[in-house]
Amino acid sequence: MATRTANSRLTREYKSIRENPPPYIVAHPSEQNILEWHYILTGPPSTPYHNGQYWGTLMFPPDYPYAPPAIRMHTPSGRFQPSTRLCLSISDFHPKSFNPAWEVSTILTGLLSFMTSEEMTTGSVSATERERKWAAARTRWWNSTGGGTTTRQIPGISFSSNNRGVGTIKAGDGGAKFRAEWPELDEENWKWMKENKIDPATGEAVAESASTNSSVCSPEAAALRRRPVSSAGPLEAVVEGGQVARDVSQSWLSRHKMAVGVLLIFGYVLLARVLGNGTAS
């Protein structure tokens, strides 16, 4: 249970951060426990986390602000181990270095700054820029489905079932905890999944159904069926060149078949005479 000092301080800080939120940061305390705060960091531009929706928690001690909170980020980011306590100078790993003048906004600004750096600590992980961009693109899906453990479906899009989830953290709650703390964001996320045809079970975009009508096909397939008119590729040049050679050969024989026949007869007679003279001697 929070002390009177902690309760008064956190109430004041909530009012402050709600009225003047720092860039890319929103946060609020849980309705059941003022010591449990939930935050959303939006990935800043020019970073691999751009537009990512990173949800996490701050667990404050009862004697805050004289001791720092435990900091966790639940959404997979490629930067931190999900739902793992982070060792930072502003976290409970270093209570002696915590300054009581620091507020929730100070703590979250420091977390965002550390996230966008490459400094390593307990709870951080190494990943490529490509992997972090891939994770950023899946954050809204992950938050609202619990990593694919949701039972909610989208008509015409939900084709698979995945009770275990994809990259789920802890048991995978189907997004229930996120939905309880961020109901408006949750609905926005589901609207985004529907518009972009994201399968809630896998987080992957569902391809449009292929038409059974042979006269209708994708532009890519149609392009493969069209033969170039103005120029021929290497394989086509070889085939067409061979056909021209055969045509030339057949045309010459058809025009000179009589002469060829006379030459063959003359050669045969000459050969017979030579062989006959050899036998007589």
Condensed to tens digits (0 to 9), the pLDDT of residues 51-66 reads 999 999 999 999 999 9
Distance, in Å, from the CA atom of 93 to the CA atom of 121, rounded to the nearest integer, reads 11
Confidence of residue 1 (pLDDT cuts 50, 70, 90): confident
Decide if pLDDT at 49 tops 50. Answer: yes
In terms of Cα–Cα distance, which of 20, 32, 100 is closest to 66? Answer: 100
- pLDDT at position 146 over 70: yes
In this predicted model, which residue has the larger pLDDT, 86 or 215? 86
User: In the annotation, is 87 catalytic?
Assistant: yes
Interval 158-183 mean pLDDT: 73
Q: What is the pLDDT of residue 233?
A: 39
pTM for the model:
0.72
Of 26, 67, 87, 217, which one is the catalytic site residue?
A: 87
Q: What pLDDT score does 215 carry?
A: 40
Tokens in use for 160?
A: 């698979």
pLDDT score of 212: 36
Report, as an integer, the average pLDDT of 218-241.
34
Q: What percent of the chain has pLDDT over 90?
A: 67
> For residue 240, is pLDDT > 70?
no
Mean pLDDT (whole number) for 147-174: 73
**In the prediction, which pLDDT does 265 show?**
73
Residue 156's pLDDT band (cuts 50, 70, 90) = confident
Count of C-beta atoms within a 10 Å radius of residue 268: 9
Are 66 and 100 in contact by the 8 Å Cβ rule? The answer is yes
The reported pLDDT for the residue numbered 172 is 76
At 281, list the tokens. 């001697």
User: Tens digit of pLDDT for each residue in 262-278?
Assistant: 666 767 666 666 666 65
